[in-house]
Structure formats: C-alpha cells, structure tokens
Amino acid sequence: MSNARQHLHDREITHVAALFQQHGHQVIRTPRRNVRDTPAGDLLIDGHRSVAVRVAHLMPRRVTIYAAGRKYRYDYPEWSWNLHTHGRRYAQPDVWVFVALGEPVRRFVVPARLLRGRYTLRVMRGRADQHWLRRYRDVWDVAHRSAA
C-alpha cells in the first residue's frame, strides 16, 4: 500500500474510532502488524468486538458489451472494497466499516456475518441508496447487534 493510501486509511480509522466513541463505545486501536497476523482488524470495540475499516475512492469500472455485431463500452463509477489479501481472507472481524469517499463521505457499518463468502464488495454511484448497504449507513450501534 502506498504512503498516500496508508495515510488515508489511517485517517479514516481515526475518524471511525471517534465516531464509535461519540456513540458511547470504548475503542482501542489495534497495532499495525503483518496482515496475516492481525485477524482482529483495525479497532477493538468495547473490549471484545473487532472492527476492520476499508476505504474506497470512486473509480470507473469499464464494461464492454457486444450486440448485433457492434461493440459498446461503458464506464460505471463505483466503490469497490477488497475483503481479502492475495486471495485469502486473513481479516475476520466482527464488524466491517466501509468508507465510500466522495461528496458526501458515506460510512457503512456492517456485521461480518452478512459478508461471509465474499471477497469483494462493489456499489455503483447512483445506486448506493438502493443497495442493501443503505440500511447500515452510519449505524454505529451495529457493534452491539453483531453478536445476534
């Protein structure tokens, strides 16, 4: 990860920790180590819930369609978060926080049980309000509900 990306990730972890604290949670930032050695994620909430933070910029996703002998190319802007490292899911947190950068910044706080079996999560711009993630936008009490 480049220094600029790491700085952005660190900044968002700090911001997410502050938001959890504002909602009455105790937050401990876990030390950064090798990805394989940190199954807990980036934060520890209330002493027993691990939280992993993922940050995504809005990026174009190129789609090519062939119809009636013609080729059509479309660029669909989307946020895409990786839940894996080199094809393996080392992080196994209780809660994922997905940060969609843009105007406005969107933060989705999702129980990990909803993402079992997924390696990537994508949301197209313009469809964020229709996506299943919308129910988890700024839902900071999900750390309490993640055990259910």
Q: How does DSSP assign 83-118, residue by residue?
A: --BTTB-----SEEEEEE-SSS-EEEEEEGGGGTT-
CB contact set of 83 (below 8 Å; sequence gap of 6+)? 54, 89, 91, 96, 115, 118, 119, 120, 121
pLDDT band at 118 (very low <50, low <70, confident <90, very high): confident
Contact call for residues 16 and 53 (beta carbons, < 8 A)? yes
Give the CA dihedral 73, 79, 85, 88, nearest 10 degrees. Answer: -80
Residue 37 has a pLDDT of: 53
Residue 47 has a pLDDT of: 86
Query: Rounded to an integer, what is the distance from CA 41 to the centroid of its chain?
Result: 12
24-33, 83-92, 98-107, 108-117: least confident range: 83-92
Average pLDDT rounded to a whole number, residues 37-60: 83
The three-state secondary structure class of 60 is strand
- pTM, two decimals, is 0.79
Average pLDDT rounded to a whole number, residues 109-119: 81
Q: Whole-angstrom Cα distance, residue 8 to residue 2?
A: 10
Residue 66 has a pLDDT of: 95
pLDDT band at 93 (very low <50, low <70, confident <90, very high): confident
Residue 147 has a pLDDT of: 46
Helices (H), the chain: 3-22, 142-145
